Amino acid sequence: MKSINPTGIDAYKPSEIYDLVDQLGVAKIGLSIVQLLMLSVLAGAFIALGSAAFTMVMTGTDMAYGPARFLGGIVFSLGLILVVVGGAELFTGNALLMIAAVDKRISAVQLLHNWAIVYVGNFAGAVLIALLVWQAGLLEGAMGHSASGIAQSKLALNMPEAFARGIGCNILVCLAVWLSLAARTISGKIQAVIWPVSCFVLLGFEHSVANMYFFPQAVLAGASVDFVGFAQNLILVTLGNIVGGAGGVAIAYRLAYGRKNPRQ
């Protein structure tokens, strides 16, 4: 029987979302290597498609202009919508597996194993879409110029900035995933995803999987990319994503709704 939310909203209550995340963490660990890798490649491809659309939307605009970035954020949301509704394994969203780990429903080794495979699969999916976009000829001309500008703006970030922007990004991405689990309908899930994701893009926060696309895209567009800078950016953003998602959102909700705390 469907539970009744005292707010009158047809959605799962926060404590129920916590239980869903806990159960999903166990289910994700139960996936075979082939399933996990394939779903990870799909997630990387999905985020890359949103990133490619973002690049085109920003073409011909001032990338520092707020309204343009907000529109870009709405378009970029396509990636997480495909992940959430279509079903895929995304590294940044899987930061929420920390809840199942803290609840001792999965081990630390299982958690790190999942993250490692998903990270590699996401990278592969992102690069595949970058190659597809390049082969389609989309990186010639104006879109290629935008691709170069996006990569250069990321390389210009210093280490504390990249790390902090990674934290901010995955707080919002994990909240988007959390809110999508509250929704009982596909339209509700889509609406839940769009606003947090648009916010992180608007604020210029950094998403590790999106960067797995943005940098190869710039290289394929003919831009001169510092590969050491790319590696440094990706490492710092990845660590920030882990802190924001696992250390921030997951732990915060664990303290609020964990097994030793009363349900609300």
Q: In the chain, what are the helix, strand and coil shares in percent, each to the nearest 5?
A: 75, 0, 25
Q: How many angstroms separate the Cα of 181 from the Cα of each of 111, 128, 185, 186, 236?
A: 21, 29, 10, 10, 28
* Cβ neighbours, 10 Å, residue 87: 10
Mean pLDDT across the chain: 93
Sign of the C-alpha dihedral computed for residues 217, 57, 93 and 230 taken in this order: positive
Q: Which two tokens stand for residue 34?
A: 């082939």
Q: What is 14-257's CATH number?
A: 1.20.1080.10
Reading the block at residue 155, the tokens are 């390389």
120: tokens are 């590699």
The per-residue pLDDT for 104 is 93
Answer for the pair 180, 193: CB distance below 8 angstroms, yes or no: yes
Model confidence at 189: pLDDT above 60? yes
**Residue 5: band (very low, low, confident or very high) from pLDDT cuts 50, 70, 90:** low
Q: How many Å apart are CA 84 and CA 261, to the nearest integer?
A: 28
Provide the greatest CA pair distance for the chain.
58
Q: Where are the domains of the chain?
A: 14-257
As a whole number, mean pLDDT of residues 25-47 equals 96
Tell me if the pTM is above 0.75. yes
pLDDT the model gives residue 259: 66
Phi, psi of 46 (to 5 degrees): -65, -45
Phi, psi at 185, each rounded to 5°: -125, 160
- Taking the C-alpha atoms of residue 226 and residue 170, their distance in angstroms, rounded to an integer, is 25
In contact, 114 and 28? CB cutoff 8 Å: yes
Q: What are phi and psi of 229, to 5 degrees?
A: -65, -40
Query: Any idea what the Cα angle at residue 110 is, between residues 108 and 115, rounded to 5°?
Result: 95
Euclidean distance between CA atoms 55 and 65, whole angstroms: 14
pLDDT in tens, 60-98: 888 778 899 999 999 999 999 999 999 999 999 999 999
Residues 6+ apart with CB under 8 A from 130: 48, 213, 216, 217, 220
Can you list the alpha helix ranges (DSSP code H) found in 156-226? 159-182, 186-202, 208-220
